[in-house]
């Protein structure tokens, strides 16, 4: 059968069939890579070493998120010597969120573990995660006990974002990570999402299910450096807030009301002065108010624009990623044609 990216009922039935026939648990590990050529060998070897000690069968689904270095070459080379590793190459850099989505739609295990490609999510925790899953938990989340080596600025901005996000969306993300194990049921539901702007950490928490956390220590990155620049992180944070909360819009209206009240107070004061004959003063107040109101109007307009843009992106409904190449010989990279028979 040609495997496609669809999440159609038929395909899931056949996937389930394939999986259910196994006597031991089948675990998929999804790893996104973006310009990590020096890291790949170490990451995949370490991961396989751990997986081989467990009483399971496994596959590793490596996603090349449009790297411009030799990541793809390294990945294909590795898949030749290890039959349990599949690599999927996206047509350009779509970002880690899209790479995760690609991995989740391709993984066929009874449970799927997501980890970073730089070993900062150490595979030595796999046995514990799988044990918790076998106990019946459907989402097993890694919680950072230490955040690894990180600049003070990075820590400050991360905490600021988590603080604002928790206030606005009611979802607490502090110290959470993308190091997670998801049961097949959760992955199947995840694959039904049609959202473009996904934020894995928050969406998977919003989904519910029987969940448990485990503490883990973030290892240090051995080679390369973090792919998240300040702007990329700022964009992710903004998208996360916008797709999870409409409270900023409420905030704008509240600000409007506050300013209306202030306007009435000032109006009374100005009129009193006017009739008292000393109206020329107050120039400073006018300038300050103009600046303040002007900036708030602009910020509000911008914010509204962001929500409209987000709506626009969602309405267009473009695919989240394109797969250009894969090492899976049964894989069909042709875009799917709508046969109108299902979904």
Mask for 82-121, x = binds Mg ion (CB under 5 A): ----------------------------------x-x-x-
Residue with Cβ nearer ligand UDP (92 or 167): 92
* C-alpha span between 245 and 237 (Å, rounded): 12
Which residues from 265-324 bind ligand UDP, rule CB under 6 A?
A: none
Work out whether 120 is an interface residue with ligand UDP (CB under 6 A).
yes
The single residue among 117, 122, 123, 142 that binds ligand UDP, judged by CB under 6 A, is 117
Which residues from 12-31 bind ligand UDP, rule CB under 6 A?
A: none
Residue with Cβ nearer ligand UDP (120 or 169): 120
The single residue among 30, 32, 114, 181 that binds ligand UDP, judged by CB under 6 A, is 32
Strands 323-326 and 85-90: antiparallel
Residues whose CB falls within 8 Å of the CB of residue 1, separated by 6 or more in sequence, listed in order: 14, 330
Q: State the nearest-atom distance from the C-beta of 257 to ligand UDP, in Å.
A: 39
Which residues from 56-75 bind ligand UDP, rule CB under 6 A?
A: 65
Q: Per 3-state DSSP, what percentage of the chain is helix, strand, and coil (rounded to 5)?
A: 50, 15, 35
Q: State the nearest-atom distance from the C-beta of 212 to Mg ion, in Å.
A: 24
Phi-psi map region of 303: left, alpha, beta (phi>0 left; psi -120 to 50 alpha): alpha
* C-alpha span between 186 and 175 (Å, rounded): 22
Strands 111-114 and 176-183: antiparallel
Using CA atoms, how far residue 313 sits from 94, 318, 320, 322, in Å, is 14, 8, 11, 16
Residue with Cβ nearer Mg ion (79 or 120): 120
Count how many residues are written for the chain. Answer: 343
Q: State the nearest-atom distance from the C-beta of 34 to Mg ion, in Å.
A: 10
Using CA atoms, how far residue 86 sits from 50, 74, 75, 224, 326, in Å, is 17, 12, 8, 23, 8
Which residues from 117-156 bind Mg ion, rule CB under 5 A?
A: 118, 120
* C-alpha span between 32 and 55 (Å, rounded): 25
What is the radius of gyration, based on Cα positions, of the chain? 25
Residue with Cβ nearer ligand UDP (119 or 181): 119
Work out whether 39 is an interface residue with Mg ion (CB under 5 A).
no
Tell me if residue 67 falls in helix, strand or coil. coil
Asked whether 138 and 187 are in contact (CB, 8 A), the reply is no
Mask for 197-226, x = binds ligand UDP (CB under 6 A): -----------------------------x
296 CB neighbour count, 10 Å cutoff: 15
Q: What would the DSSP string read from start to end of 101-121?
A: HHHHHH--SSEEEE--TTSSS
Q: State the nearest-atom distance from the C-beta of 83 to Mg ion, in Å.
A: 28
Q: State the nearest-atom distance from the C-beta of 213 to ligand UDP, in Å.
A: 18
Which residues from 83-102 bind ligand UDP, rule CB under 6 A?
A: 93, 95-96, 99
Work out whether 46 is an interface residue with ligand UDP (CB under 6 A).
no
Work out whether 36 is an interface residue with ligand UDP (CB under 6 A).
yes
The residues of the shown chain that bind ligand UDP, judged by CB under 6 A, are 32-34, 36, 65, 93, 95-96, 99, 116-118, 120, 226-228
The residues of the shown chain that bind Mg ion, judged by CB under 5 A, are 116, 118, 120
């Amino acid at each position: 059968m040609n495997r496609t990216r669809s999440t159609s009922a038929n395909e899931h039935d056949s996937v389930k069939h394939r999986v259910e026939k196994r006597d031991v648990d089948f675990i998929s590990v999804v790893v996104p890579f973006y310009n990590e050529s020096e890291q790949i060998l170490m990451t995949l070897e370490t991961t396989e070493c751990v997986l081989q000690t467990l009483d399971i069968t496994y596959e590793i689904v490596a996603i090349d998120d449009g790297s411009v270095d030799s990541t793809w070459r390294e990945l294909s080379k590795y898949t030749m010597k290890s039959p349990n590793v599949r690599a999927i190459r996206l047509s350009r850099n779509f970002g880690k969120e899209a790479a995760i989505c690609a991995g989740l739609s391709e993984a066929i295990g009874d449970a799927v573990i997501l980890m970073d490609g730089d070993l900062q999510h150490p595979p030595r925790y796999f046995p514990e995660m799988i044990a918790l899953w076998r106990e019946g938990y459907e989402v097993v989340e890694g919680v950072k006990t230490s955040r690894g080596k990180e600049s003070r600025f990075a820590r400050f901005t991360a905490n600021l974002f988590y603080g604002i996000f928790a206030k606005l969306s009611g979802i607490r993300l502090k110290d959470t990570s993308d190091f997670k194990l998801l049961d097949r049921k959760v992955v199947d539901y995840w694959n039904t999402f049609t959202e473009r702007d996904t934020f894995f950490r928050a969406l998977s928490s919003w989904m519910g299910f029987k969940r448990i956390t485990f503490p883990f220590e973030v290892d240090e990155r051995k080679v390369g450096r973090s792919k998240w620049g300040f702007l990329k992180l700022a964009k992710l944070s903004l998208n996360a807030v916008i797709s999870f909360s409409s409270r900023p819009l409420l905030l704008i209206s509240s600000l409007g009301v506050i300013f209306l009240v202030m306007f009435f107070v000032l109006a009374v004061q100005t009129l009193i002065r006017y009739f008292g004959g000393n109206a020329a003063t107050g120039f400073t107040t006018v300038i300050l108010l103009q600046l303040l109101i002007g900036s708030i109007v602009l910020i509000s307009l911008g914010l509204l624009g962001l929500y409209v843009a987000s709506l626009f992106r969602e309405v267009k409904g473009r695919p989240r990623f394109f797969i250009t190449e894969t090492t899976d010989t049964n894989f069909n990279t042709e875009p799917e044609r709508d046969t109108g028979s299902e979904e």
